[in-house]
Amino acid sequence: MNIQKANLILDKIVVTFPNAHCELNYNSGFELLVAVVLSAQCTDRRVNVVTKELFGIANTADKMLELGQERLEKIIYPCGFYNQKAQTILQASSRIKLEHGGNVPNDFDFLTSIKGIGRKTANVVLSELFNGGGIAVDTHVFRVAKRLGLAAGNTPEKVEKELTVLYGDRTKAAHQSLVFFGRYLCRAIKPLCTECPVKENCLFQIMQKSN
């Protein structure tokens, strides 16, 4: 896929979803980081319900550390994988407090050095807070990129690198638009192909017709 064609595809998706945005509720960089950690294998809607309670009690690194593992686990239980997520949140809180005064830094290497925080989480945070980082490749972005031929990689990291090259300084818009496109139109099951603005580029449809 060349850059010009990739951007024409993105332009059509942006027109279809002009209000694409991060659907996690947050009021600070720290809250965003916690919410993104909780969103792994969980819907944004459920995370927002949980963080409404959580951030009312602990919305800073200091307060999160005061909350502790046991109480944190009970609050975030509905998000699944609560033990692992609580450990990640508390480790992140400790590192951010000690090394960055409680503020989430614009530092990809620092974020990914925290156990439990991978490339996707770091990229979402950096894109949302600082308009930086690469394109966060979640299940929606991975599916859409493959169906539209935007990327050939067979892992999220490879797809991330390909998309970041294609979209350059449009990575934030690309991520948000592709997420909305995959979540609400190009769904994993029963995609709304008749409503698709870029169906002429869809490899998925071509494969469906050939079967």
Catalytic residues: 120, 138
Cβ(22)–Cβ(176) below 8 Å: yes
> What does the chain look like in DSSP terms, one character per residue?
--HHHHHHHHHHHHHHSTT----S--SSHHHHHHHHHHTTTS-HHHHHHHHHHHHHH--SHHHHHHHHHHHHHHHHGGGS-HHHHHHHHHHHHHHHHHHHTT---S-HHHHHTSTT--HHHHHHHHHHHHS-S-----HHHHHHHHHTTS---SSHHHHHHHHHHHHGGGHHHHHHHHHHHHHHTS-SSS--GGG-TTGGG-HHHHHHHH-
What span, in angstroms and rounded, lies between the C-alpha atoms of 66 and 169?
39
